[in-house]
Chains A and B, each alone.
Chain A
Amino acid sequence: QLQLQESGPRLVKPAETLSLTCAISGGSIRSSTLYWGWIRQPPGKGLEWIGTVYYSGGTYSSPSLKSRLTLSVDTPNNQFYMKLSSVTAADTAMYYCAGAGYCTGASCGFDPWGQGILVTVSS
């Protein structure tokens, strides 16, 4: 069964870079699904799509985050990453990684999800 686990610093200072890793178990980053994604949720607020990354390295990012966001894959270690630069308090959120699921062609939802990691931006 495919499982995802987020990891990274839980406290990041303003203006610094937020770096997260999503480790995949029970499957391969190459073949388990069409793409992998990042979604975040500020405390008490709704879900926001951050971006998606393909095992080939291709990426798509939210227009509102694109200038600060880097997405990548690490095929040998079966994990993928996100880096968000120049963070502010507005980037404080639960960050989830997820796989593409329930796909028909290139149209997919997000399934499964990791349990999420709460990242706080504060000095």
Chain B
Amino acid sequence: NAGVMQNPRHLVRRRGQEARLRCSPMKGHSHVYWYRQLPEEGLKFMVYLQKENIIDESGMPKERFSAEFPKEGPSILRIQQVVRGDSAAYFCASSPGLAGGPGQETQYFGPGTRLLVL
């Protein structure tokens, strides 16, 4: 059973461009979580999604950031008009979605996408 896949692993963008980060959850998992980690800092929750539904986006910046998890295909984190401050590692995690809430499930993390904005 393959783990959580993220691609690309490294992404370089110039200021003003768009960045698209993809996350394929573990087989059978229907919940996806996105986190951001700035250099030398801890994980910061961004958004929690079920298929075709955003459950909690309280950690998402109000502008330029969006996330989706369609019925088919990977989850996408989209950052429009990137700025240098968006440079960070972005981690995706997935969980089965069979238990009650996220506090009752184990999250399985991908290797991350390292975004560098020039």
* Bound pair (A, B): no
Interface residues of A, Cβ cutoff 8 Å to B: none
